[in-house]
Amino acid sequence: MSKIKVKTTMVEMDGDEMTRIMWSMVKAKLLFPYLDIPLEYYDLHVKYRDDTDDQVTFDAARAIIKYGVGVKCATITPTEDRVKEYDLKKAWKSPNGTIRAMLDGTVFRTPIQVKNVKPSVSSWKKPITIGRHAYGDVYNNTEIYAPGPGKAELVFTPADGSPPVRQTIHDFTAPGIIQGIHNTDQSIASFAKACFTHALDQKTDLWFSTKDTISKIYDANFRRIFAEEFEKNWQDKFAATGIEYFFTLIDDAVARIMKSEGGILWAVKNYDGDVMSDMIASANGSLAMMTSVLVSPDGHYEYEAAHGTVQKHYYKHLNGEETSSNSMALIFAWTGALRKRGELDGTDDVVRFADILEKAAIETIEGGTMTGDLLLIAEPNPNNRKVNTEGFIDAIAARLENML
Ligand code: NAP
Ligand code: MG
């Protein structure tokens, strides 16, 4: 059989530890036998980032902007411990943070659902995707502990010399706390654009929720920008696709989500996204079943697994012990990127390959062959058997071979 040709260059970002090991197996056993992919390779191994003073991360981000689609392995975000472990020059910034900043992108996380692992919420038949605004709010806050009585004020001093705007936050009569947070119209607009882009891409309804009844300027500004962006650029496209944009209060959204059947892209502010994405992940069982895509407002895409480098399994592996690490999210990072590349290039055979590989992977688990993390949460069945890291990829490869 001749290989399927991917037309345009894809950006590949290799990573660290256990995921680096699974990454090369996925390529060797599930992709390269069937696909001819022009790849531009960036090695984001922590040691190579260190060797290049992190230049390789910036180069990779620029390549995604140039070609449009990238796929990334999990990478170590250096901490003091890691600096010692790998003898690094310094604790370089998180590569994901750097790439997200350069693409001005929004991260969407979606669980991979299989029939024999039921979500904790029984009504959820289809995945719920969280779109988290990853700028500002409490994550870039300024805080003061007020040790005793005093006046707390919010002051804005315009750069053009016009008089400052001043509001009293609180007249303290005893110790207390104060917090200042901000956001920018530009960042909110980029977030909105990425959400509308991704909802249309996935042909799914978009919900956006804030608490604008209480926060009449801050949260209301988010609501206004989303509404304006929708009316200006998306209303007709959404109608033509048969999908909806829906705004509701955050508490109402939570209540509705718990009773919904899923199949929603839920866009939320930074803190809500931090909390809700972990809830959705946990309700779906395993971090290894959560995919992630970074979408820029200009329509550049970077696909990856939501989990990290699975450090504990890697140390076991280095010790010569058997591991049973789950490669599903890594495989789906590749299929997501391939499907997107195929759609942009108009190459149906590439899109079809991505669909078939996903089907082979899902059916492998549904047939009872799975890694340890899933065996713990799958519905009991005599067919269930635990396989090791490589055995799982081999089982998918065998199924894939029969399906192609
Ligand atoms: P992690 O890699 O997400 O793993 C945490 C735990 O979740 C694992 O110990 C394992 O639990 C389970 N797990 C995660 N992925 C799994 C998989 N594919 N198969 C089976 N089990 C899986 O988080 P971490 O170990 O705390 O972080 C390791 C490194 O990853 C850190 O250096 C961090 O900076 C980095 N990180 C990178 C990214 C990214 O690149 N996107 C994201 C997060 C973290 P058990 O041990 O119970 O089996
Ligand atoms: Mg969180």
163 & 86 share domain: no
Lowest model confidence (mean pLDDT) among 67-71, 119-123, 164-168, 230-234: 119-123
Task: Take atom 4 of ligand 1 and give the residue whose Cα is closest.
Answer: 310
Q: How far apart are CA 289 and CA 281, in angstroms?
A: 8
Q: Which of 235, 264, 283 is the last residue of a domain?
A: 283
Are the CB atoms for 138 and 270 separated by under 8 Å?
A: yes
Q: What pairs with residue 264 in β-bridges?
A: 128, 205
Task: Take atom 30 of ligand 1 and give the residue whose Cα is closest.
Answer: 308
Across residues 210-236, what is the average pLDDT?
97
Predicted pLDDT at 258: 94
If you measure from the C-alpha of residue 281 to the centroid of ligand 2, how many angstroms do you get, rounded to a whole number?
10
Task: Take atom 6 of ligand 1 and give the residue whose Cα is closest.
Answer: 310
256 & 301 share domain: no
Our count of domains for the chain comes to 3
Lowest model confidence (mean pLDDT) among 13-22, 93-102, 201-210, 340-349: 93-102
Q: How far apart are CA 111 and CA 284, in angstroms?
A: 7
3-state SS of 333-398 is HHHHHHHHHHHHHCCHHHHHHHHHHHHHHHHHHHCCEECHHHHCCCCCCCCCEECCHHHHHHHHHH
Are the CB atoms for 209 and 250 separated by under 8 Å?
A: yes
Q: Is residue 326 scored above 80 in pLDDT?
A: yes
If you measure from the C-alpha of residue 277 to the centroid of ligand 2, how many angstroms do you get, rounded to a whole number?
7
Q: How confident is the model at residue 221 (pLDDT cuts 50, 70, 90)?
A: very high
CATH of the domain at 308: 3.40.718.10
4 & 94 share domain: yes
Mutation choice for ligand 1 from 309, 332, 365, CB with most ligand atoms inside 8 A: 309
129 & 160 share domain: no
259 & 342 share domain: no
Q: Which residues contact 280 (CB under 8 A, 6 or more apart)?
A: 109, 111, 128, 130
Q: How confident is the model at residue 402 (pLDDT cuts 50, 70, 90)?
A: very high
Lowest model confidence (mean pLDDT) among 130-139, 189-198, 331-340, 352-361: 130-139
Ligand 1 near 74 CB (within 6 A): yes
Ligand 1 near 277 CB (within 6 A): no
| Strand locations in 220-355 (E) | 245-249, 264-268, 290-295, 301-305
Ligand 1: nearest atom to the Cα of 328: 18
Ligand 1 near 195 CB (within 6 A): no
Q: Which of 126, 159, 180 is the last residue of a domain?
A: 180
134 & 251 share domain: yes
169 & 37 share domain: no
Element (H, E) at 163: none
Counting residues of the chain whose pLDDT is more than 70, the rounded percentage is: 100
Q: Is residue 2 scored above 80 in pLDDT?
A: yes
Buried b (16+ CB within 10 A) or exposed e, 120-139: ebeebeebbbbbbbbbbbee
Q: Is residue 337 scored above 90 in pLDDT?
A: yes
Q: Percentages helix, strand, coil for the chain, rounded to the nearest 5?
A: 45, 20, 35
Q: Which of 283, 311, 332 is the last residue of a domain?
A: 283
Q: How far apart are CA 373 and CA 7, in angstroms?
A: 36
Q: How confident is the model at residue 336 (pLDDT cuts 50, 70, 90)?
A: very high
If you measure from the C-alpha of residue 279 to the centroid of ligand 2, how many angstroms do you get, rounded to a whole number?
9
Mean pLDDT of the chain: 96
Ligand 1 near 307 CB (within 6 A): yes
For helices 389-403 and 348-366, angle between their N-to-C axes, nearest 10 degrees: 130
Predicted pLDDT at 288: 92
Across residues 312-340, what is the average pLDDT?
98
Mutation choice for ligand 1 from 50, 307, 311, CB with most ligand atoms inside 8 A: 307
Predicted pLDDT at 134: 82
39 & 105 share domain: yes
Are the CB atoms for 119 and 283 separated by under 8 Å?
A: yes
Predicted pLDDT at 139: 84
Could you report the per-residue pLDDT of 13-30, keeping only the tens digit for each?
999 999 999 999 999 999
86 & 152 share domain: no
Q: Is residue 1 scored above 80 in pLDDT?
A: no
85 & 156 share domain: no
Across residues 371-382, what is the average pLDDT?
95
Predicted pLDDT at 104: 84
Element (H, E) at 205: strand 205-210
Mutation choice for ligand 1 from 88, 287, 292, CB with most ligand atoms inside 8 A: 287
Q: Is residue 284 scored above 90 in pLDDT?
A: no
Could you report the per-residue pLDDT of 345-360, keeping only the tens digit for each?
999 999 999 999 999 9
Lowest model confidence (mean pLDDT) among 150-164, 270-284, 291-305, 317-331: 270-284
Q: What pairs with residue 151 in β-bridges?
A: 171
In 27-94, alpha helices (H): 46-51, 55-67, 80-85
Structural domain containing residue 166: 142-180
4 & 85 share domain: yes
202 & 264 share domain: yes
φ/ψ bin of 85: left (φ > 0), alpha (ψ from -120 to 50), beta (otherwise): alpha
Report the predicted TM-score, pTM, of the whole model to 2 decimal places.
0.92
Predicted pLDDT at 121: 93
Ligand 1 near 76 CB (within 6 A): yes
Give the CA angle between residues 318, 324, 329 to the nearest 5°.
105
